[in-house]
Amino acid sequence: MRHYFAAWTDSGCLLGCDHEHPTIASAVACIPCAAGSVVAVEDGTLHALNDNEVVEFQAAMYGASEGKRVVPPNRLKWIEET
């Protein structure tokens, strides 16, 4: 079963909460500093968030207002609005 934990670095070390959060939003609530993130864990192995999870993470961290689209960083493109 996939779960999440809050993660951050300090002095070059990866630190994190010791909870098994069922959602990204609950893991975000455990982030203690501005540079924190969320890591997925499945079968005891750490995983980067997938594209949909990145969108969920960004919405939980920064909010999403109506009309504002959150795009995974690896898919960002400069879009000129007319």
Whole-number pLDDT of residue 43: 95
Q: Give the pLDDT mean for 46-60.
A: 92
Whole-number pLDDT of residue 63: 82
Pick 62 or 65 by higher pLDDT.
Answer: 62
Whole-number pLDDT of residue 13: 92
Q: How many CA atoms lie within 13 A of 74 on its CB side?
A: 7
Whole-number pLDDT of residue 35: 85
Number of H helices, E strands in the chain: 2, 4
